[in-house]
Chains A and B, each alone.
Chain A
Amino acid sequence: MSEGIAVNGYVSQQELEQSPGYPSQERLQQGPVVVIECPQEIPCNPCEEACPYQAITVGEPITNCPQLHEEKCIGCGVCIAQCPGLAIFLVDLTYSERLAAVAFPYEYLPLPEVGQKVTTVNRAGEPVCEGEVIKVMNAKANDRTPVITVSVPRKYATTVRSISCPGR
């Protein structure tokens, strides 16, 4: 069981890089890919079935940490809304010359709108930088788990994981 998440409530960079759900630096530089931030052994495997490209495996027992097969992941992000723990994110370091795109699940109201400027936050809920909402996906198949994509300066792509809720 990992130490960082059990004390801070969020994964440390070390836990992430050691977990099988984290892509290599090489893969991250190639284009959109998911980052699975689930380092504990808990009985859960919907991510495995969610991926249309079999890029995530859990196997038996279902307490195995999810393993990302980065060569199969095309960065479609379908898995993000299927994870009951809301622990999957999409990172695209190649979004533009200056900016990266980060997609995350967001189950609050109000939902932001495309084009809106937002304050992005890190895993500890601390403000990181201003971002722009570039996509809001709320398909019926996601069962009320909207997925928001924001663009941020590339250096923040590994830390931005949500936006601050207005009025909080």
Chain B
Amino acid sequence: MRAIDLAVVGAGPAGLVAAIEGAKRGCSTVVVDRNPKPGGQLIKQIHKFFGSREHQAGTRGVDIAQRLFREAQALGVTLMLGWDVYDIRPGRLEVVRTSFVELTSDRPAASLHGATKTESISSAKIVLATGAEENAIHFDGWTLPGVMGAGAAQTMINVWRVLPGNRVLMVGSGNVGLIVTYQLLQAGADVAAIVEAASKIGGYGVHAAKVRRAGVPILTTHTVVEARGDSRVTGAVVAQLDASWNPVPGSEKTFDVDTICVATGLRPNTRLASLAGCQLTNSSVLGGWVPIHNNQLETTVPGIYVAGDVSGIEEASTALEEGRLAGISAASSLGKSSACDEEEIRTIDERLRSLRGGPFCQPIQDAKQELVRIGESACPKE
């Protein structure tokens, strides 16, 4: 069993940065992630980031991930990639190798000879940076192979360099739907249309503009009502919605597609937080159930922190800032702080405020403030 200062679950932007800040302050640190490649959702973001220079604006997400991974390694952070956390208690994680199939099969790979299947990690502090899950919407045929999350398509094309299909219907015009549409075009797929149930496009106008000038129609007040096909998607039926969001009879249009990407929102992945006993609260603006946390990002369970999308669906830029804050808070609670912590925390708060400014983000700003307000009374005090 390993005994360490800081365990971070999730090697995405929030997790890697939390680990980096912990390690910088002298914490023995381990990051656990079930995926073979580190970087979380960053490694699929091949577009240039917005924000300001401090927020890595103009840099492609995939390059930020590389930089963070190297920095974490250089600081001596142990990265357990290809490991799943299957149990959690305050101060303790139980992990299992993701591809245990290799260890239990008749012909295990030679490289795994002697390797263990499970491990226990005893850790004074835990940061849960478990990110988000993609929502599904139900329509006839929604379970057919070929219906997948937009993020799933993004993973296939940008990480594994494989097209999951050739002709796509995108459902949802938030930033994920718009960006993944653009990236599908870059990878050589065709996007027949984007359908958006609301009367306005959900994401940034500039993202929409890129795909509109590439010839992709965006049909507002429309949604998918059926995926056609026997063993796989061979077509999609789309209908217009009336003011009560009901399909208008006779408005159906069929698109000749083999893939339907669902970009209908993300929800925080709170499974481990919940298992650990962290209190959750429901916030539709933040994506659903979120762990209650205070200003230091500590949850209602002492020693367990959250950072990134698990604490409310936002962006990579906010995940980086929250990860920094969680790492600093966790280290500081172990007596391992740095002289400039106070100033760094002030800068992080300012940058978060700046990122959460503007009409697109005001509801999130309000929701996060409310979450912390609940947290200040529900979470442990210093």
Q: In the complex they form, do A and B come into direct contact, defined as C-beta atoms under 8 angstroms apart?
A: yes
The residue of chain A having its C-beta at the shortest distance from the C-beta of B190 within the complex is: A168
> Is A162 a contact partner of B214 (Cβ separation < 8 A)?
yes
The residue of chain B having its C-beta at the shortest distance from the C-beta of A63 within the complex is: B358
Other-chain residue from A9, A61, A84, A123 in contact with B218 (beta carbon distance below 8 A): A9
> Is A162 a contact partner of B213 (Cβ separation < 8 A)?
yes
Residue numbers in B under 8 Å from A41 (CB-CB): 358-360
Residue numbers in A under 8 Å from B51 (CB-CB): 43-45, 62
> Is A125 a contact partner of B209 (Cβ separation < 8 A)?
no
Closest Cβ of chain A to B263, distance in Å, is 15
Residue numbers in A under 8 Å from B199 (CB-CB): 7
Measured between alpha carbons, how far is A144 from B47 in the docked complex, in Å?
10
> Is A122 a contact partner of B220 (Cβ separation < 8 A)?
no
Residue numbers in A under 8 Å from B185 (CB-CB): 108, 165, 168
Residue numbers in B under 8 Å from A7 (CB-CB): 199-201, 220
> Is A143 a contact partner of B50 (Cβ separation < 8 A)?
no
> Is A124 a contact partner of B359 (Cβ separation < 8 A)?
no
Closest Cβ of chain B to A87, distance in Å, is 4
Closest Cβ of chain A to B260, distance in Å, is 19
Closest Cβ of chain A to B54, distance in Å, is 10
Measured between alpha carbons, how far is A122 from B214 in the docked complex, in Å?
9
Measured between alpha carbons, how far is A2 from B58 in the docked complex, in Å?
24
Residue numbers in A under 8 Å from B213 (CB-CB): 10, 121-125, 161-162
Q: Mark B55-76, 1 if CB is under 8 A from A, else 0.
A: 1011110000000000000000
> Is A85 a contact partner of B206 (Cβ separation < 8 A)?
yes
* Residue A82 interfacial (CB < 8 Å): yes
> Is A61 a contact partner of B357 (Cβ separation < 8 A)?
yes
* Residue B373 interfacial (CB < 8 Å): no
> Is B212 a contact partner of A8 (Cβ separation < 8 A)?
yes
* Residue B330 interfacial (CB < 8 Å): no
Other-chain residue from A87, A108, A143, A165 in contact with B206 (beta carbon distance below 8 A): A87
How many residue-residue contacts, CB under 8 A, span A and B? 132
Residue numbers in B under 8 Å from A164 (CB-CB): 215
> Is A84 a contact partner of B57 (Cβ separation < 8 A)?
yes
Other-chain residue from B190, B212, B220 in contact with A125 (beta carbon distance below 8 A): B212
Residue numbers in A under 8 Å from B214 (CB-CB): 108, 125, 162, 165, 168
Measured between alpha carbons, how far is A16 from B354 in the docked complex, in Å?
26
Closest Cβ of chain A to B222, distance in Å, is 13
Chain B interface bracket (under 10, 10 to 19, 20 to 34, 35 or more): 35 or more
Interface set, chain A 139-167, CB cutoff 8 A to B: 143-145, 161-162, 164-165
> Is B358 a contact partner of A43 (Cβ separation < 8 A)?
yes
Closest Cβ of chain A to B113, distance in Å, is 42
- With A125-B216, A168-B190 in contact, is A5–B354 under 8 Å at CB? no
Closest Cβ of chain B to A126, distance in Å, is 8
- With A9-B218, A41-B360, A43-B51 in contact, is A86–B190 under 8 Å at CB? no
Measured between alpha carbons, how far is A143 from B214 in the docked complex, in Å?
21
Which stretch (A32-40, A91-99, A129-137) binds chain B?
A32-40
> Is B209 a contact partner of A87 (Cβ separation < 8 A)?
yes
Tell which of B57, B190, B205, B209 has the most Cβ of chain A within 10 Å. Answer: B205
Measured between alpha carbons, how far is A166 from B207 in the docked complex, in Å?
21
* Residue A46 interfacial (CB < 8 Å): yes
- With A9-B201, A125-B214 in contact, is A1–B359 under 8 Å at CB? yes
Closest Cβ of chain A to B176, distance in Å, is 15
Q: Mark A1-38, 1 if CB is under 8 A from B, else 0.
A: 11001111111000000000000000000000000011
The residue of chain B having its C-beta at the shortest distance from the C-beta of A163 within the complex is: B213
Closest Cβ of chain B to A84, distance in Å, is 4
> Is B357 a contact partner of A43 (Cβ separation < 8 A)?
yes
Measured between alpha carbons, how far is A124 from B47 in the docked complex, in Å?
21
Residue numbers in B under 8 Å from A62 (CB-CB): 51-52, 354, 357
Other-chain residue from B53, B207, B210, B355 in contact with A43 (beta carbon distance below 8 A): B355
Residue numbers in B under 8 Å from A123 (CB-CB): 209, 212-213
> Is A82 a contact partner of B354 (Cβ separation < 8 A)?
no
Measured between alpha carbons, how far is A85 from B14 in the docked complex, in Å?
24
> Is B205 a contact partner of A9 (Cβ separation < 8 A)?
yes
Residue numbers in A under 8 Å from B190 (CB-CB): 168
Tell which of A5, A37, A43, A46 has the most Cβ of chain B within 10 Å. Answer: A43
Other-chain residue from A10, A84, A122, A165 in contact with B50 (beta carbon distance below 8 A): A84
Can you offer 19 A-B residue contacts whose CB atoms are under 8 A? A5-B205, A6-B200, A8-B218, A10-B205, A10-B208, A40-B204, A41-B358, A43-B55, A43-B354, A43-B355, A45-B52, A84-B49, A85-B50, A86-B206, A108-B185, A125-B212, A161-B213, A162-B214, A164-B215
Give me the interface of B with A, judged by CB distance under 8 Å: 47-53, 55, 57-60, 173, 185-186, 190, 199-201, 204-216, 218, 220, 354-355, 357-361
Known: A9-B173, A87-B209, A168-B190. 14 other contacts (CB 8 A): A5-B209, A7-B201, A40-B205, A42-B204, A42-B206, A43-B354, A43-B355, A63-B357, A82-B58, A84-B47, A85-B209, A123-B212, A125-B212, A125-B215
